[in-house]
Amino acid sequence: MAVKISPSVLTADFLELKENLKKLEAAGTDMLHLDVMDGIFVPNISFGLPVIKSIKKHTSLPLDVHLMIDRPHRYIKQFCEVSDWLGFHYEAGSDVAETLKEIRNNGCRSCLTIKPCTQPEEIFPFLPLCDMVLVMSVEPGFGGQKFMPEALGKLEALRAEAERQSLSLELEVDGGINAETAPLAVKAGASVLVAGNYIFSAEDMKKRAEEIKSL
């Protein structure tokens, strides 16, 4: 499974986002990671549907939307209308199986996300309903945090279980991804790398994205 890169706009300068999206497209990135935060499930507020709709108008990149919100089942249909991949947290208070099914029924690829406190074995029963699983390698809610190495063991366990169940599953990792941690994550089984601050803080963002992609 080829490694994909999903740059996160959480740390981007939104006044320059349209121009930066073109640079990311030129760099061959595979999707765009959008963190939706409600200030309840995580202690921060980011953006919602209006911003995602605007972004969608100005990029050809598939949108990888990550809901960090309480009881996400309430908003699945609305977010599916603007997403290509739609993910929510296992810990967020929704019926996991039914929410994953609803995402697929609304034409999106489904993603289940786990926080650092959650063990991968807890979500093994739901893997057949997932197109992707996102392992958080930082505490969700803020960009620019350091990579938690315990995420590597979770990636290994999920990759092994996906193979045991004969599933073609994307494994995404989000938090602290850079030139040092990206190869470790890929070796552990990750196939999608979310990189935010490392790309958007670079003087040459296109070159930085290409470097991560080449790893």
Task: Retrieve residue 203's tokens.
Answer: 């003087």
Give how far Cα 106 sits from Cα of 25, 91, 101, 109, 178, Å.
Answer: 26, 22, 9, 9, 34
In the structure encoding, which two tokens stand for residue 94, read together?
């929704």
List 35, 38, 64, 131, catalytic entry: 35
Contact assessment for residue 112 and residue 88, using Cβ atoms and an 8 Å cutoff: yes
**Is 30 considered catalytic here?**
no
- The number of C-alpha atoms within 13 Å of 39 and in the hemisphere containing its C-beta is 4
The distance between the two most distant Cα atoms of the chain, rounded to a whole number of Å, is 46
Q: Cα separation of 10 and 195, whole Å?
A: 10
Residue 189, Ramachandran bin (φ over 0: left; ψ between -120 and 50: alpha; else beta):
left
d(CA 93, CA 84): 23
Residue 38 is among the residues annotated as catalytic for this protein: no
Sort 43 into a burial class: Cβ within 10 Å, 0-12 / 13-18 / 19+: exposed
Q: Which of 38, 64, 131, 174 is catalytic?
A: 174
Residues designated catalytic: 35, 174
